[in-house]
Amino acid sequence: MSIFKQITNHFNELMKKTVVAIFLGLGTFAQAQLQLPVSDYEKIEAQVIEWRHDIHQNPELSNQEFKTAAKIAAHLRSLGIEVTTGVAKTGVVGILKGDLPGKVVALRADIDALPVTERNDLPFKSTVKGTFMGEKVGVMHACGHDTHTAILMGVASVLSKHKDKIKGSVKFVFQPAEEGPPPGEEGGASLMVKEGVLENPSVDAIFGLHINSVLPVGMIGYKPLGAMAASDRFVIKVQGKQTHGSQPWGGVDPILICAKIIDGLQTIISRESDLTNEAAVITVGKITAGVRFNIIPETAEMVGTIRTLDYKMRDHIGKRMKEMVSAIATAYGGTATVEIVNGAAITYNDANLVGQMLPTLQKTAGKDQVMLMKAITGAEDFSFFQEKVPGFYFFLGGNTPGNQEAFPHHTPDFKIDDAGMLLGVKTLSEMALDYLSQ
């Protein structure tokens, strides 16, 4: 790349960030009071926590959230909200029509759990067992979807009592299978979109949140534009030639070829990807090969993930992986194929919408408690909604203030402080009201 092109690219990126900064700066002049009394939110807090504990103790895997869906649907119906069930297999959608005409805003929560065995000391810890890919597993809300579900149920409770303040409609989207449907099945946000969840009535904007085990309770984190990475799954199949483990010269070792491929793939990141632009990751998470210690097997298989925050980088990495894997295998006497399956897209927060709603975040949490974050390489299928309508996805603090030990998401020790959920109810409710009022 010429120095002129580099300068041009940096200038364009600077201008893009400047435009975003202008939007965010303009938003801060529109500070306002809560549309609903604080007492309305405080009255629902104990119920939200109770829902969360019950859902946490009774987790269900992706596309199997039958009891969770029934609980949600019964609650929405009790509020007089129009309910549709069985959306994208086990999803629930509720529509609350305000007394005044206006736009339609959607609020989304994911409802599925993970195949993780819980080992913390919570009094409401999960002891549920399930089946995942043919194996018996523990089932746990190890990513906080139980809090998301309880929070949105609380938002429905609050807003249903104030239809006179709603200019338009609020669509409550309780989405299954955010963690991905079982192999061979459809599911998640992509199937919800396919089945028309953003239509009838047509959604103008969508908001969602994710609890965060590191961010302290009371804080909100956000990022305009690319906030979370695209997630792609790859499978590499290596063909060698079987031989006795004591005579490797008699065959072609596919395990050795795997090792060379793994080493080579990392150079795509470290030597070919412009990491000053955006982060990117290639991870091999599983290798399957062989049956005995003294047999060099015929084949080997690797499965992994690609994470990108830029679509040009995503395309380049996929192209180079296919070129490199085949070439490395050939160099060592074998053959190899690569299959890349696109998963979640980039979670892309619309800059105009972020600027429009930033004052709402600041009035609910306090200006000093709202933090601009860097992008993360985790993925979210909320991105499928954002491909169709403007969306804003942000992070809610769930770590006890002063706590030095915050366990990562998707781990057996994962914990969330219940005290963080009230801010979630307040923020989503006020975002809906503010958006529809503008």
Q: Which residues are catalytic?
A: 112, 178
405, two tokens: 């030990």
Q: Using alpha carbons, list the distances in angstroms from residue 231 to 184, 212, 276, 310, 370.
A: 18, 19, 20, 11, 27
Cα–Cα distance, 377 to 313 (Å, whole number): 14
- Selection from 243, 369, 231 nearest residue 306 by Cα: 231
- Respond yes or no on whether the N-terminal peptide bond of residue 201 is cis (omega within 30° of 0): yes
- Bridge pairing between strands 129-132 and 135-138: antiparallel
Phi, psi for residue 223 in degrees, rounded to 5: -150, 125
Q: Which residues are CB-neighbours of 56 under 8 A, at least 6 positions away?
A: 122, 124, 125, 126, 141, 146
**Does residue 113 contact residue 178 with C-beta atoms inside 8 Å?**
no
How far is Cα 322 from Cα 304, in angstroms, rounded to an integer?
14
Gyration radius of the chain over CA positions: 24
Give the DSSP letter string of 211-267.
EEEEEETT-EEE-SEEEE-EEEEEEEEEE-B-EETT-GGGSB-HHHHHHHHHHHHHH
Q: Count of CB atoms within 10 A of residue 148's CB?
A: 28
Tokens representing residue 211 in the block? 């609890």
Inter-CA distances, 212 with 78, 121, 203, 219, 414, Å: 30, 19, 27, 10, 10
Residues facing 370 on adjacent strands: 220
Distance (Å, whole) CA 253 – CA 320: 23
Q: How far apart are CA 6 and CA 12, in angstroms?
A: 10
